[in-house]
Amino acid sequence: MKSSRNAFTLIELITVMAIVAILSVAGIASYRGIRRGAEIRAAESMIRTSVVMARQQAVLLRENITLSFNSNSGTNYIALKNGVNILHNTLTFPSSIEFEAPLPGPITFEPHGSGGAKPPVVVKLRERTGVGTDLLSSEVTIWPLTGVTKIK
């Protein structure tokens, strides 16, 4: 006698469903890690872009341009100013990222780079929330005289 088989058994279906569930969980965990890293990189890129823009504006307008980092009421942003006028719309950081504003305050870019030797400024970035001590962090070092940035 020949037996013909036209369907899957219950054990085969349950096995396939279990494999799909395990792969889905692994994929979601991987996606979250990629997203977390992308938000830190986006904040680093915003800082780097703002530094380049401030240096270019100082040279173009032939006046001092101030790059200020503000952290008011949970909103972190960067502003470019020449005196009192804001030259560029503020760049707002992703809500999951916070930063330590550089001391002693705003960074001033001079048009001719004639401000003497200025020490590098470090902006520290970190996640607002994370699992235990698994918080992502980063540091962006800015040299005000040249506008060079280094990410660590």
Is the residue at 130 inside a domain? yes
Task: pLDDT band for 117, please (50, 70, 90 cuts).
Answer: low
pLDDT at 16: 93
Instruction: Name the residue with higher pLDDT: 104 or 18.
Output: 18
Is the residue at 3 inside a domain? no
Q: Which long-range contacts (CB under 8 A, 24 or more apart) does 76-85 make?
A: 78/46, 78/47, 78/50, 80/50, 80/53, 80/54, 81/106, 82/57
Is the residue at 75 inside a domain? yes
Q: Output the domain CATH number for residue 125.
A: 3.55.40.10
Is the residue at 20 inside a domain? yes
Is the residue at 124 inside a domain? yes
The count of domains in the chain is 1
Q: Taking residues 4-32, report their average pLDDT.
A: 85
Is the residue at 4 inside a domain? no
Is the residue at 5 inside a domain? no
- Quick one: which of 121, 139, 137, 119 has its CA closest to 67? 121
Give the least confident one: 17-31, 76-90, 93-107: 76-90
- Quick one: which of 93, 98, 106 has its CA closest to 43? 93
Task: pLDDT band for 20, please (50, 70, 90 cuts).
Answer: very high
Q: Which domain holds residue 139?
A: 10-151
Residue 125: count other Cβ atoms within 10 Å of its Cβ.
23
Is the residue at 121 inside a domain? yes
Query: Positive or negative CA dihedral for 109, 112, 118, 119?
Result: positive
- Quick one: which of 141, 74, 136, 69 has its CA closest to 105? 69
- Euclidean distance between CA atoms 103 and 71, whole angstroms: 13
Enumerate the β-bridge partners of residue 86: 81
